[in-house]
Amino acid sequence: MVRGIIVLLLLFNSKNLWSQATDTALQRKIYNERIQKTRIADVYIPMNTNDAMNELLRLSDSVAREKIKTTKEDTIASKLHFSLGRWMQINWGFDEGSRLSHYYRTKGVTYTDDMIDLLIRSFYRTIVKQPLEEEKLIQKYIDLRKQENIEKKKKAKVVQTITRTKKPHNE
């Protein structure tokens, strides 16, 4: 009886391990297909920041753009994050992968919220006719995440320290 239960558990666990490997391969396949597409769910997916700015200009009306001109960049980035930003996240496929999110990932921007912030700040700069300075923005997000990681490691607790002694090799 106990042997039967152990065998069933082993079979169940091996199926789960196979399933996870298959799921990962399937996810990678879907991602690789998505990053090649110019449209997802009938929505045009920009290929880079400049293309995204052209698309946002096309989709937005002049009244909204005029309102943006009268506000500071940090305020716009904060206020539009959960409206325009979420629209971009969902429609431009940042979480599931798209050619735009892949563009940023290859540049080192891997967090969805950083992609959103970068695009909103770039849109603001486009509207007020300031240089985008894309590389500086990208470096800002990379540095921010590195610093967060350093701070996280500083605050981490050591659970247990194990010291191993190396046995002499017998010849």
User: For residue 120, what are the CA distances in angstroms to 70, 81, 103, 113, 141?
Assistant: 15, 8, 16, 11, 14
Residue 43 sits at φ, ψ, to 5 deg, of: -115, 130
Model pTM score: 0.79
Contact between 124 and 73 under an 8 Å Cβ cutoff? The reply is: yes
Q: Sorting pLDDT into bands at 50, 70 and 90, what band is 163?
A: confident
Give the 3-state secondary structure of residue 85: helix
- What's the CA dihedral at 84, 85, 89, 91 to 10 degrees? 10
Q: How confident is the model over 52-96, as pLDDT tens digits?
A: 999 999 999 999 999 999 999 999 999 999 999 999 999 999 999
